[in-house]
Chains A and B, each alone.
Chain A
Amino acid sequence: MTKRNVPLQVKNLCFDARGIRLIKDVSFDLTAGSRLMVLGANGAGKSLLMRLCHGLLVPHSGTVQWGEGQEGKMIRQAMVFQRPVMLRRTALANIAYGLKCKGVARPLRRDIAFDFLSRVGLARLANHPARLLSFGEQQRLALARAWAMEPDVLFMDEPTASLDPSGTHAIEEITRLIAQEGTTLMMSTHDLGQAKRLGNDVLFLHRGRVLEQASAQDFFQQPKNDLAQAFVRGELLWWKKKKDLYPGGGIEQIPSDRI
């Protein structure tokens, strides 16, 4: 399946909550077919940025501009959350519900839903209540539901944050399959290994600011920003003493030209 040219342009995006600026002047482009990994420590603003891009939150300033999809159609997006939200119905019905929202005719929903359930290896649990599945199975189901929407762009907010290695592996395999269909991915993670395995572009955030945007290869081999270097080295940015990162001051006093 060939996907459309789907550039997402984010310009000077800012978001405040209770008077505190949490996303600060973020700008970047999401190009068609890319697998953009949003990296950063906890509290960097990764989830907020995903929600702003997906339209779940309204920015206080700046723009999230979507290009045109195939034949001028609106670009379809879907999102998978860190904690999967399962509707109180069966696994199959959860996917069918998404298809209903998408406008798929009732007679077709069941077969399509079952197909996507099979793709994520949950066909045997089709009639099982979704909320009684294990966390890993729920996340795979959430991914299947998003996949069934046939999105041009799929947002994934730390989908493996609470999973063990086998669960993570399953999600990554499904993510690869989705990407192979040409879906553009934007995924937040603080797992460097996962970003290396899945990403071809990286957006590095720190305290609501984009400190670096580069190809995954460049970012992991030679990050330009010193905080990004520390992050790639596996140092804990939040715990690192200010004087170690910035001998002349601290994170709070980073000269503006360095960020």
Chain B
Amino acid sequence: MAEFWAAFAAAFDLIYGADDNLVGIVLLSLRVSLTAVLIAALIGLPLGALVGFLSFPGKKACVVVLNALMGLPPVVVGLLVYLALSRAGPLGVFGLLFTPMAMIIAQVILITPIIAALTRQVVEDLWGEYREQLTSLQCSTGQVVLTLLWDGRFSLLTAVFAGFGRASAEVGAVMIVGGNIDHVTRVMTTAIALEVSKGDLALALGLGIVLLTLSLGVNAIAYMLGEFARKRMGA
């Protein structure tokens, strides 16, 4: 038990002392995850909005596929991205394997369906409410999509946060395509896995605390945004 508390104490020391190794890993994690979320949002938001707003043959199948992709197994995504980026793969010439870019690509593939599927649901509900009014105002398709995205902004931010949560907590795919190389591709989750296997619980716990704080913070922001939207905009 004493060892357990000692590990916690050491973890807090690392955080409090802003340990270089820990800070480096946290910053790289944030860089990779935030970039992935930004790219996934740029793809997922309009994609989800179009699927939610447009009527086309096969829409139901499209929705089912989109929802199913939310549960993509990270290791499978990691494997596919690995194959694509490996020297013999179709994208091997870019030399991206075992770089942060490879990790970003894997995370984008993992979280784009999450953002798109949640966006689709938000936009579809909003479109159901706005359809007659916006049609009556003779809005163009572009105006409709932008309006739905803007008016659903608080719910959509929650979708983006959900994507960030998945990206920052993901370990399987980034381990495969990043390789967990120290100071190059080592992020919080892969570092925790490594340090636990090495028996260095202090660093693992320190990173775990940062990860948990990040997760709590994101959820708190999402909750506060929802409350703000309800109180200030009646959303």
Q: Which residues on A are within 8 Å of B, measured CB to CB? A: 51, 54-56, 77-79, 81, 85-89, 97-98, 100-102, 129-132, 149
Contacts and interface: CB of A to CB of B under 8 A. Distances in A.
A70 B129 CA distance: 34
A129 B130 contact: no
B88 interface: no
* Consensus secondary structure, chain A interface: mixed
Contacts of B143: 100-101
Contacts of B133: 81, 85, 87
A88 B235 contact: yes
Contacts of A131: 233-235
Nearest to B129: A85
Contact of B138 (A85, A88, A101): A101
A96 to B, nearest CB: 12
Contacts of B136: 54, 56, 77-79
Top 8 nearest A-B pairs by Cβ distance? A131-B234, A85-B133, A88-B151, A101-B137, A132-B234, A79-B136, A129-B233, A88-B235
A129 B234 contact: yes
Interface residues of B, number: 17
Nearest to B232: A129
B147 interface: yes
A219 B130 CA distance: 36
Contacts of B233: 88-89, 129, 131-132
Interface of B: 129-130, 132-133, 135-139, 143, 147, 151, 229, 232-235
A102 B147 CA distance: 15
A88 B234 contact: yes
Contacts of B229: 88
A87 B130 contact: yes
Nearest to B235: A88
Nearest to B136: A79
B158 to A, nearest CB: 15
Contacts of A129: 232-234
A86 B235 CA distance: 10
Contacts of A102: 137
B92 to A, nearest CB: 47
A89 B151 contact: yes
A87 B235 CA distance: 9
B138 to A, nearest CB: 6
Contact of A85 (B132, B139, B234, B235): B132
Contacts of B151: 87-89
Contacts of A85: 129-130, 132-133
Given A129-B233, A131-B234, 14 more contacts: A54-B136, A56-B135, A86-B234, A88-B229, A88-B234, A89-B151, A97-B137, A98-B137, A101-B137, A101-B139, A129-B232, A129-B234, A131-B233, A149-B137
Nearest to A146: B136
27 contacts: A55-B135, A56-B135, A56-B136, A79-B132, A79-B136, A85-B129, A85-B130, A85-B132, A87-B130, A87-B133, A87-B147, A87-B151, A88-B234, A88-B235, A89-B233, A97-B147, A98-B137, A101-B137, A101-B143, A102-B137, A129-B232, A129-B234, A130-B234, A131-B233, A131-B234, A132-B234, A149-B137
